[in-house]
Amino acid sequence: MLSSFNEWFWQDRFWLPPNVTWTELEDRDGRVYPHPQDLLAALPLALVLLAMRLAFERFIGLPLSRWLGVRDQTRRQVKPNATLEKHFLTEGHRPKEPQLSLLAAQCGLTLQQTQRWFRRRRNQDRPQLTKKFCEASWRFLFYLSSFVGGLSVLYHESWLWAPVMCWDRYPNQTLKPSLYWWYLLELGFYLSLLIRLPFDVKRKACKMVNYMQYQQVCDALFLIFSFVFFYTRLVLFPTQILYTTYYESISNRGPFFGYYFFNGLLMLLQLLHVFWSCLILRMLYSFMKKGQMEKDIRSDVEESDSSEEAAAAQEPLQLKNGAAGGPRPAPTDGPRSRVAGRLTNRHTTAT
Protein backbone atom coordinates (compact mmCIF):
# COMPACT_ATOMS: atom_id res chain seq x y z
CA MET A 1 0.00 0.00 0.00
CA LEU A 2 2.83 2.38 0.88
CA SER A 3 4.64 1.63 -2.37
CA SER A 4 1.44 2.25 -4.34
CA PHE A 5 0.94 5.62 -2.65
CA ASN A 6 4.58 6.52 -3.24
CA GLU A 7 4.27 5.65 -6.92
CA TRP A 8 1.09 7.69 -7.25
CA PHE A 9 2.43 10.68 -5.31
CA TRP A 10 5.60 11.03 -7.37
CA GLN A 11 3.97 10.84 -10.78
CA ASP A 12 5.81 12.67 -13.53
CA ARG A 13 2.86 14.90 -14.36
CA PHE A 14 2.73 16.24 -10.80
CA TRP A 15 6.29 17.44 -10.28
CA LEU A 16 7.91 17.64 -13.71
CA PRO A 17 7.19 19.82 -16.75
CA PRO A 18 5.24 18.30 -19.65
CA ASN A 19 7.03 15.59 -21.66
CA VAL A 20 9.67 15.06 -18.94
CA THR A 21 9.95 11.85 -16.88
CA TRP A 22 11.96 10.72 -13.86
CA THR A 23 13.73 8.25 -16.11
CA GLU A 24 15.49 11.09 -17.89
CA LEU A 25 16.91 12.21 -14.52
CA GLU A 26 18.61 8.94 -13.61
CA ASP A 27 22.30 9.17 -12.68
CA ARG A 28 24.57 8.32 -15.60
CA ASP A 29 28.03 9.04 -16.98
CA GLY A 30 29.18 10.40 -13.61
CA ARG A 31 26.39 12.99 -13.51
CA VAL A 32 24.18 13.04 -10.41
CA TYR A 33 20.61 14.35 -10.47
CA PRO A 34 18.20 15.08 -7.62
CA HIS A 35 15.78 12.28 -6.74
CA PRO A 36 12.64 12.16 -4.55
CA GLN A 37 14.21 9.60 -2.21
CA ASP A 38 16.89 12.16 -1.30
CA LEU A 39 14.30 13.78 0.98
CA LEU A 40 14.34 10.71 3.25
CA ALA A 41 17.87 11.58 4.39
CA ALA A 42 16.47 14.66 6.14
CA LEU A 43 14.80 12.57 8.88
CA PRO A 44 17.94 11.04 10.45
CA LEU A 45 19.67 14.39 10.01
CA ALA A 46 16.82 16.04 11.95
CA LEU A 47 17.34 13.58 14.82
CA VAL A 48 21.05 14.39 14.84
CA LEU A 49 20.26 18.10 14.99
CA LEU A 50 17.86 17.48 17.87
CA ALA A 51 20.62 15.73 19.83
CA MET A 52 23.03 18.56 19.04
CA ARG A 53 20.46 21.09 20.17
CA LEU A 54 19.85 19.39 23.52
CA ALA A 55 23.59 19.23 24.15
CA PHE A 56 24.07 22.86 23.11
CA GLU A 57 21.26 24.19 25.31
CA ARG A 58 22.47 22.26 28.35
CA PHE A 59 26.23 22.69 28.15
CA ILE A 60 26.58 25.99 26.24
CA GLY A 61 23.32 27.95 26.17
CA LEU A 62 22.49 27.68 29.88
CA PRO A 63 25.98 28.65 31.17
CA LEU A 64 26.10 31.43 28.58
CA SER A 65 22.78 32.84 29.77
CA ARG A 66 24.00 32.95 33.36
CA TRP A 67 27.28 34.55 32.32
CA LEU A 68 25.40 37.25 30.42
CA GLY A 69 23.17 37.98 33.40
CA VAL A 70 19.92 36.35 32.29
CA ARG A 71 17.99 35.46 35.44
CA ASP A 72 14.68 33.73 35.95
CA GLN A 73 12.04 35.50 38.01
CA THR A 74 10.99 33.91 41.27
CA ARG A 75 7.49 32.53 40.92
CA ARG A 76 5.06 31.83 43.71
CA GLN A 77 3.44 28.43 43.43
CA VAL A 78 -0.33 28.23 43.60
CA LYS A 79 -2.07 26.27 46.31
CA PRO A 80 -3.70 23.08 44.97
CA ASN A 81 -7.37 23.69 44.19
CA ALA A 82 -9.23 21.05 42.21
CA THR A 83 -12.12 23.34 41.22
CA LEU A 84 -9.94 26.16 39.91
CA GLU A 85 -7.52 23.74 38.24
CA LYS A 86 -10.37 22.03 36.39
CA HIS A 87 -11.69 25.36 35.14
CA PHE A 88 -8.17 26.43 34.13
CA LEU A 89 -7.59 23.30 32.06
CA THR A 90 -11.04 22.91 30.50
CA GLU A 91 -12.75 26.31 30.37
CA GLY A 92 -9.91 28.77 29.87
CA HIS A 93 -6.97 30.54 31.45
CA ARG A 94 -8.62 33.95 31.74
CA PRO A 95 -12.12 33.70 33.19
CA LYS A 96 -14.37 36.75 33.15
CA GLU A 97 -15.40 38.52 36.33
CA PRO A 98 -18.80 36.75 36.64
CA GLN A 99 -17.02 33.39 36.35
CA LEU A 100 -14.40 34.51 38.87
CA SER A 101 -17.13 35.50 41.34
CA LEU A 102 -18.85 32.14 40.95
CA LEU A 103 -15.59 30.21 41.37
CA ALA A 104 -14.70 32.29 44.42
CA ALA A 105 -18.03 31.45 46.03
CA GLN A 106 -17.59 27.73 45.28
CA CYS A 107 -14.09 27.65 46.78
CA GLY A 108 -14.74 29.94 49.72
CA LEU A 109 -12.24 32.53 48.47
CA THR A 110 -12.42 36.24 47.86
CA LEU A 111 -12.49 37.61 44.34
CA GLN A 112 -8.97 38.99 44.74
CA GLN A 113 -7.63 35.62 45.94
CA THR A 114 -9.21 33.88 42.95
CA GLN A 115 -7.70 36.41 40.53
CA ARG A 116 -4.30 35.96 42.15
CA TRP A 117 -4.58 32.17 41.84
CA PHE A 118 -5.23 32.38 38.08
CA ARG A 119 -2.39 34.88 37.60
CA ARG A 120 0.10 32.63 39.32
CA ARG A 121 -1.25 29.56 37.55
CA ARG A 122 -0.77 31.25 34.16
CA ASN A 123 2.77 32.18 35.13
CA GLN A 124 3.56 28.55 35.90
CA ASP A 125 2.90 27.61 32.28
CA ARG A 126 5.05 30.40 30.90
CA PRO A 127 8.64 29.45 30.00
CA GLN A 128 11.46 30.91 32.03
CA LEU A 129 13.85 33.47 30.51
CA THR A 130 16.75 31.02 30.52
CA LYS A 131 14.73 28.55 28.46
CA LYS A 132 13.82 31.27 25.97
CA PHE A 133 17.45 32.37 25.78
CA CYS A 134 18.73 28.84 25.17
CA GLU A 135 16.26 28.22 22.34
CA ALA A 136 16.96 31.62 20.80
CA SER A 137 20.72 31.14 20.99
CA TRP A 138 20.45 27.75 19.25
CA ARG A 139 18.46 29.26 16.40
CA PHE A 140 20.84 32.21 16.19
CA LEU A 141 23.80 29.83 15.92
CA PHE A 142 22.16 27.76 13.20
CA TYR A 143 20.91 30.74 11.18
CA LEU A 144 24.32 32.37 11.34
CA SER A 145 26.07 29.16 10.28
CA SER A 146 23.47 28.58 7.57
CA PHE A 147 23.92 32.10 6.23
CA VAL A 148 27.70 31.90 6.12
CA GLY A 149 27.63 28.37 4.68
CA GLY A 150 24.97 29.23 2.14
CA LEU A 151 26.84 32.32 1.01
CA SER A 152 30.00 30.32 0.48
CA VAL A 153 28.12 27.62 -1.43
CA LEU A 154 25.91 29.85 -3.56
CA TYR A 155 28.25 32.78 -4.16
CA HIS A 156 29.73 31.30 -7.32
CA GLU A 157 26.39 30.19 -8.77
CA SER A 158 25.24 32.35 -11.68
CA TRP A 159 21.55 32.01 -10.80
CA LEU A 160 22.12 33.66 -7.40
CA TRP A 161 22.74 36.97 -9.14
CA ALA A 162 20.45 36.36 -12.13
CA PRO A 163 17.45 34.21 -11.06
CA VAL A 164 16.42 33.62 -14.67
CA MET A 165 19.43 31.30 -14.95
CA CYS A 166 17.60 28.85 -12.66
CA TRP A 167 15.59 27.68 -15.68
CA ASP A 168 18.55 27.08 -17.99
CA ARG A 169 18.21 23.41 -19.07
CA TYR A 170 15.60 22.86 -16.33
CA PRO A 171 14.98 20.19 -15.07
CA ASN A 172 18.01 18.49 -16.60
CA GLN A 173 20.41 20.01 -14.08
CA THR A 174 23.05 18.08 -12.19
CA LEU A 175 23.20 18.26 -8.40
CA LYS A 176 26.42 19.45 -6.79
CA PRO A 177 27.39 17.80 -3.47
CA SER A 178 27.73 21.17 -1.73
CA LEU A 179 24.20 22.20 -2.77
CA TYR A 180 22.84 18.80 -1.80
CA TRP A 181 24.20 18.97 1.74
CA TRP A 182 23.26 22.62 2.25
CA TYR A 183 19.63 22.10 1.24
CA LEU A 184 19.47 18.83 3.18
CA LEU A 185 20.77 20.58 6.29
CA GLU A 186 18.12 23.29 5.94
CA LEU A 187 15.37 20.71 5.50
CA GLY A 188 16.63 18.67 8.44
CA PHE A 189 16.71 21.76 10.68
CA TYR A 190 13.12 22.77 9.95
CA LEU A 191 12.02 19.19 10.35
CA SER A 192 13.66 19.17 13.80
CA LEU A 193 11.74 22.36 14.66
CA LEU A 194 8.54 20.64 13.58
CA ILE A 195 9.29 17.71 15.88
CA ARG A 196 9.94 20.07 18.79
CA LEU A 197 6.99 22.35 18.01
CA PRO A 198 4.76 21.15 20.91
CA PHE A 199 7.56 21.77 23.44
CA ASP A 200 9.19 24.97 22.19
CA VAL A 201 8.39 28.50 23.29
CA LYS A 202 5.54 29.87 21.20
CA ARG A 203 5.70 33.17 19.32
CA LYS A 204 9.40 33.56 19.89
CA ALA A 205 11.95 35.24 17.68
CA CYS A 206 15.66 35.53 18.25
CA LYS A 207 15.60 37.96 21.20
CA MET A 208 18.83 37.15 22.99
CA VAL A 209 19.76 40.83 23.48
CA ASN A 210 16.28 41.58 24.79
CA TYR A 211 16.55 38.80 27.37
CA MET A 212 19.85 40.31 28.51
CA GLN A 213 18.01 43.65 28.98
CA TYR A 214 20.37 45.64 26.76
CA GLN A 215 17.60 47.97 25.62
CA GLN A 216 19.63 50.40 23.49
CA VAL A 217 21.43 47.61 21.67
CA CYS A 218 18.10 45.84 21.19
CA ASP A 219 16.51 48.97 19.68
CA ALA A 220 19.43 49.49 17.30
CA LEU A 221 19.37 45.88 16.14
CA PHE A 222 15.62 46.05 15.63
CA LEU A 223 15.97 49.10 13.38
CA ILE A 224 18.58 47.28 11.30
CA PHE A 225 16.41 44.18 11.18
CA SER A 226 13.40 46.25 10.06
CA PHE A 227 15.30 47.79 7.15
CA VAL A 228 16.67 44.42 6.02
CA PHE A 229 13.25 42.77 6.37
CA PHE A 230 11.43 45.42 4.35
CA TYR A 231 14.02 45.37 1.57
CA THR A 232 14.37 41.61 1.25
CA ARG A 233 10.71 40.64 1.80
CA LEU A 234 8.87 43.50 0.14
CA VAL A 235 11.32 44.38 -2.65
CA LEU A 236 13.69 41.54 -3.52
CA PHE A 237 11.33 38.63 -2.90
CA PRO A 238 8.45 39.76 -5.15
CA THR A 239 10.58 41.35 -7.86
CA GLN A 240 13.19 38.59 -8.12
CA ILE A 241 11.81 35.33 -6.72
CA LEU A 242 8.08 35.60 -7.44
CA TYR A 243 8.66 37.14 -10.85
CA THR A 244 10.97 34.40 -12.03
CA THR A 245 8.84 31.55 -10.64
CA TYR A 246 5.58 32.92 -12.06
CA TYR A 247 6.71 34.15 -15.48
CA GLU A 248 10.23 33.14 -16.45
CA SER A 249 9.83 29.52 -15.28
CA ILE A 250 7.25 28.73 -17.99
CA SER A 251 8.71 30.80 -20.80
CA ASN A 252 9.87 27.65 -22.63
CA ARG A 253 7.59 25.02 -21.04
CA GLY A 254 3.93 24.87 -20.12
CA PRO A 255 2.66 24.98 -16.51
CA PHE A 256 2.03 21.82 -14.49
CA PHE A 257 0.80 20.89 -11.00
CA GLY A 258 4.11 21.63 -9.29
CA TYR A 259 4.10 25.10 -10.85
CA TYR A 260 0.74 25.99 -9.29
CA PHE A 261 1.48 24.24 -6.00
CA PHE A 262 4.82 25.88 -5.23
CA ASN A 263 3.82 29.30 -6.53
CA GLY A 264 0.73 29.14 -4.33
CA LEU A 265 2.96 28.50 -1.31
CA LEU A 266 5.25 31.36 -2.31
CA MET A 267 2.30 33.72 -2.64
CA LEU A 268 1.05 32.66 0.79
CA LEU A 269 4.51 33.40 2.16
CA GLN A 270 4.41 36.85 0.58
CA LEU A 271 1.07 37.57 2.29
CA LEU A 272 2.70 36.64 5.58
CA HIS A 273 5.53 39.03 4.78
CA VAL A 274 3.01 41.84 4.35
CA PHE A 275 1.31 40.94 7.64
CA TRP A 276 4.61 40.82 9.54
CA SER A 277 5.63 44.11 7.96
CA CYS A 278 2.49 45.72 9.36
CA LEU A 279 3.42 44.51 12.83
CA ILE A 280 6.94 45.89 12.45
CA LEU A 281 5.59 49.23 11.21
CA ARG A 282 3.36 49.40 14.27
CA MET A 283 6.35 48.94 16.55
CA LEU A 284 8.40 51.48 14.58
CA TYR A 285 5.60 54.02 14.86
CA SER A 286 5.55 53.54 18.61
CA PHE A 287 9.32 53.94 18.70
CA MET A 288 9.23 57.21 16.76
CA LYS A 289 6.35 58.54 18.84
CA LYS A 290 7.46 57.51 22.34
CA GLY A 291 11.20 57.32 21.86
CA GLN A 292 11.35 53.71 22.98
CA MET A 293 10.45 50.36 21.48
CA GLU A 294 7.22 48.84 22.70
CA LYS A 295 7.15 45.18 23.59
CA ASP A 296 6.52 42.68 20.85
CA ILE A 297 2.78 42.05 20.74
CA ARG A 298 3.53 38.35 20.20
CA SER A 299 5.46 38.13 23.47
CA ASP A 300 3.99 36.37 26.46
CA VAL A 301 4.80 38.74 29.33
CA GLU A 302 4.83 37.36 32.85
CA GLU A 303 2.22 38.84 35.20
CA SER A 304 3.06 40.07 38.69
CA ASP A 305 0.76 39.96 41.66
CA SER A 306 0.84 43.74 41.91
CA SER A 307 -0.03 44.40 38.26
CA GLU A 308 -3.79 43.99 38.48
CA GLU A 309 -3.96 45.12 42.12
CA ALA A 310 -2.35 48.46 41.25
CA ALA A 311 -4.71 48.92 38.32
CA ALA A 312 -7.68 48.10 40.51
CA ALA A 313 -6.54 50.58 43.16
CA GLN A 314 -6.53 53.39 40.60
CA GLU A 315 -10.14 52.77 39.60
CA PRO A 316 -12.98 53.71 41.97
CA LEU A 317 -15.13 50.87 43.13
CA GLN A 318 -18.43 50.99 41.26
CA LEU A 319 -21.55 50.15 43.23
CA LYS A 320 -24.70 48.69 41.77
CA ASN A 321 -26.50 52.04 41.78
CA GLY A 322 -23.67 53.60 39.77
CA ALA A 323 -22.23 55.62 42.64
CA ALA A 324 -18.52 55.57 43.30
CA GLY A 325 -17.24 53.86 46.41
CA GLY A 326 -15.20 56.84 47.57
CA PRO A 327 -16.55 59.68 49.73
CA ARG A 328 -18.43 62.46 47.94
CA PRO A 329 -18.69 66.07 49.05
CA ALA A 330 -22.01 66.97 50.69
CA PRO A 331 -24.26 69.39 48.78
CA THR A 332 -24.20 72.98 50.00
CA ASP A 333 -27.87 73.63 49.34
CA GLY A 334 -31.12 71.70 49.75
CA PRO A 335 -33.33 70.93 52.77
CA ARG A 336 -30.87 68.63 54.51
CA SER A 337 -28.05 71.18 54.39
CA ARG A 338 -30.33 73.93 55.74
CA VAL A 339 -31.54 71.76 58.63
CA ALA A 340 -27.93 70.82 59.44
CA GLY A 341 -27.04 74.51 59.49
CA ARG A 342 -29.84 75.37 61.90
CA LEU A 343 -28.87 72.58 64.26
CA THR A 344 -25.30 73.77 64.17
CA ASN A 345 -26.32 77.33 64.96
CA ARG A 346 -28.47 76.25 67.92
CA HIS A 347 -25.69 74.09 69.27
CA THR A 348 -23.28 77.02 68.99
CA THR A 349 -25.68 79.39 70.79
CA ALA A 350 -26.30 76.92 73.60
CA THR A 351 -22.61 76.54 74.24
Q: Which of 110-124, 276-290, 332-346 has the lowest mean pLDDT?
A: 332-346
The answer on pLDDT for 309 being more than 60 is no
**Tell me, what's the pLDDT at 160?**
93
**Tell me, what's the pLDDT at 141?**
95
Backbone angles phi, psi at 181, to 5 degrees: -70, -30
Q: Which of 56-60, 166-170, 323-327 has the lowest mean pLDDT?
A: 323-327
If you write DSSP's letter for every residue of 52-117 in order, what string do you get? Answer: HHHHHIIIIIHHHHHHTT--PPP-PPPPP-HHHHHHHHHT-SS--HHHHHHHHHHHT--HHHHHHH
Query: What are the pLDDT digits (tens) for 203-242?
Result: 554 667 777 777 788 888 889 999 999 999 999 999 999 9
The answer on pLDDT for 45 being more than 80 is yes
Distance, in Å, from the CA atom of 216 to the CA atom of 173, rounded to the nearest integer, reads 48
CA nearest neighbour of 151 among 163, 141, 143, 139: 143
**Tell me, what's the pLDDT at 336?**
44
**Tell me, what's the pLDDT at 325?**
44
Instruction: Supply angle C-alpha 110, 112, 116, rounded to 5.
Output: 120
Query: What are the pLDDT digits (tens) for 259-300?
Result: 999 999 999 999 999 999 999 999 999 888 876 666 555 555
Q: What is the mean pLDDT of residues 138-165?
A: 94
**Tell me, what's the pLDDT at 262?**
96
Distance, in Å, from the CA atom of 87 to the CA atom of 106, rounded to the nearest integer, reads 12
The pLDDT > 90 percentage for the chain reads 62
**Tell me, what's the pLDDT at 340?**
43
**Tell me, what's the pLDDT at 330?**
46
Rounded to the nearest integer, the mean pLDDT of the chain is: 84
CA nearest neighbour of 273 among 245, 306, 234: 234
Q: What is the mean pLDDT of residues 46-66?
A: 95
The answer on pLDDT for 351 being more than 70 is no
Q: What is the mean pLDDT of residues 8-30?
A: 92
**Tell me, what's the pLDDT at 233?**
96
Q: Are 172 and 24 in contact (CB under 8 A)?
A: yes
